[in-house]
Amino acid sequence: MKIIRSIREMTAYSKTQLAAGKSLGFVPTMGYLHDGHAALMQQAIRENDIVVVSSFVNPLQFGPNEDFERYPRDFARDEKVANDNGVDVVFYPEVREMYPDQPSVVLHVTKRVNALCGKTREGHFDGVATVLSKLFHLVSPTRAYFGMKDAQQVAVVQGLIKDLNFQVELVACPTVREEDGLAKSSRNVYLSPQERKEAPVLYRSLKVAAELLEKEKNITLVKEKMVEYVETETSGSVDYFEILSYPELEEVPFSGQTMIIALAVQFENARLIDNLLFTHNEREQ
């Protein structure tokens, strides 16, 4: 497995592989790899000749009061996870390599961001779109793999690829969960032992909401019930509990279209998100 740290080497490697007629799967990450990332790598390996994983904590997507410095980093761990999963290349640039100067161009996302996490994280998805545009140019992937745990990000990336005509296929992969249902996340390490016991309530609340929606078409009432449920059963505070159209992420009357049930809960030192896609009589498990 190769470790590439420079843009020049990354672009040269990709050009060589593509010129040889090989397909290239790409898994962009912010490192601190876990089983959720491993599932993305494994699917990419099944579907491509070469797989590249990037490990880069992107400062552009962190707000002034967010956890850029605290975001967990452990490259030795990342290298082992990638190697154990058969990855061909880990692209591991430093911030000064990706942003040698103050950017003169930063993309601005105008749709699918005024809800869920985007509502309170101004500029976050601008940073996501900007770094992914750079990475798509540098890696030139055939396919790019994203987890549905961050369904809003998947929706934004769909728009990015379509609007800027990137020649890459987006592959959205199911959320990987612990045995008790908690979505795997780099931020789970910040939960206290008691919070970790409570955290599976998040996924249970999504499933309960889906069951209620089969009987109760009043979306506002379902959301109110679920906020009360989560805040009664955990020590966390609900940031949002939303039921929206997907991937548009707009408030709509109850209908047979695909909808997303999503929540964010703030614990003492960790903010967790989760979601479930829902259509009448058919739920994503």
CATH number where 135 lies: 3.40.50.620
The yes-or-no verdict on residue 285 having pLDDT over 50 is no
Task: Give the per-residue pLDDT at 48.
Answer: 98
Any domain includes 90: yes
Give residue 124's domain range.
Answer: 2-173
- Same domain for 31 and 119, yes or no, is yes
- Same domain for 258 and 117, yes or no, is no
Please choose, from the candidates 259, 242, 220, the residue with its C-alpha nearest in 3D space to the C-alpha of residue 120: 242
**Model confidence over 222-275: pLDDT tens digits?**
999 999 999 999 999 999 999 999 999 998 776 678 999 999 999 999 999 999
Question: How many CB atoms are closer than 10 A to CB 235?
Answer: 12
- Same domain for 215 and 93, yes or no, is no
Q: What percent of the chain has pLDDT over 90?
A: 82
Write out the catalytic residue numbers: 37
- Same domain for 46 and 154, yes or no, is yes
- Same domain for 154 and 38, yes or no, is yes
- Same domain for 194 and 261, yes or no, is yes
Any domain includes 112: yes
Any domain includes 252: yes
- Residues within the annotated binding site? 30-37, 61, 147-150, 153, 176, 184-187
The yes-or-no verdict on residue 282 having pLDDT over 70 is no
- Same domain for 191 and 142, yes or no, is no
- Rounded CA gap, 32 and 27, in Å? 13
Q: With bands split at pLDDT 50, 70 and 90, how would you rate the model's confidence at 9?
A: very high
**Model confidence over 28-80: pLDDT tens digits?**
999 999 899 999 999 999 999 999 999 999 999 988 777 788 788 899 999 99
Task: Give the per-residue pLDDT at 255.
Answer: 66
The yes-or-no verdict on residue 284 having pLDDT over 50 is no
- Same domain for 51 and 110, yes or no, is yes
- Same domain for 81 and 152, yes or no, is yes
CATH of the domain at 215: 3.30.1300.10
Domain boundary among 173, 205, 234: 173
Number of domains observed in the structure of the chain? 2
- Same domain for 123 and 255, yes or no, is no
- Residues within the annotated binding site for (R)-pantoate? 61, 153
For the segment 98-115, the average pLDDT, to the nearest whole number, is 93
- Same domain for 49 and 141, yes or no, is yes
Rounded mean pLDDT of the chain? 93
Beta-strand pair 50-55/143-147: unpaired
Task: Give the per-residue pLDDT at 281.
Answer: 61
Sign of torsion over alpha carbons 119, 201, 193, 151: negative
Any domain includes 282: no
- Same domain for 93 and 146, yes or no, is yes
Please choose, from the candidates 250, 251, 274, the residue with its C-alpha nearest in 3D space to the C-alpha of residue 262: 274
